[in-house]
Amino acid sequence: MQLLVSPSSINEARHSTAADIVDVKKPSEGSLGANFPWIIREIKSFAKKPVSAAIGDFDYKPGGASLAAYGAACAGADYVKIGLAFDGVEKANDVIDAVVKAVKDEFPEKFVVIAAYSDFERMHSISPFDMAPIAAECGADFAMVDTGIKDRQSTFAFMNEETLRSFAEKNRKLGLGTALAGALKFEDIDALKRINPEIIGVRGMVCGGDRNAVVREDLIKTALAMIR
């Protein structure tokens, strides 16, 4: 498993480079809120690690999603990540296909991450299990689960270990990697190791339990030691 850490500022990003992947997003704009391209570019300039960038929790807007994805890739993101905040298989296909094409046509080496939400029922959005086969068919690289509503409830509150393990196993059969996030805690690490996703995404875990606090390098190193 690789550890992805989501700093909230350039200064925090400088203390997050011990992580395997440094994630760029803007939490004030949503679970997968997009930050500015110049922030992506600056973090990429010093991180010396792969950089991930969220482009937003999107409604059904294939054009807007594709342009945002292209912008993130041009700004230097190695992983371009979108959340599908709507329902419908055909609509999901349109958005995922547009995002993959926008990134892969010019940057085939970069990774496209498609996220659905563990709390999809209260989000009224597509299920992760319905999203993943579409992501694979369209040529994305990772299927991700995160929480859409950030009220300190964990992904494990909506999808238990067995369900998440099934999700990861099905993704492997589809040729996809799995990324898991959503208020994950240190006490979840044993379960996460059994589920064995390729990436886990955290913030609160490495801020001492409060995602509104500051990322701590010592807690990143503790998390890395526990997942290795």
The one catalytic residue among 25, 44, 104, 110: 25
Taking a C-beta distance cutoff of 8 angstroms, is the pair 178, 198 a contact? yes
Cα separation, 37 vs 101, whole angstroms: 19
DSSP 87: -
Beta partners for residue 142, in sequence order: 113, 177
Beta partners for residue 116, in sequence order: 145
The one catalytic residue among 44, 49, 81, 110: 81
In Å, how far are 2, 66, 91, 96 from 201, measured between CA atoms?
A: 9, 23, 26, 21
CA atoms within 13 A on the CB side of 144: 31
The answer to whether 25 is a known catalytic residue is yes
Residues tagged active-site: 25, 81
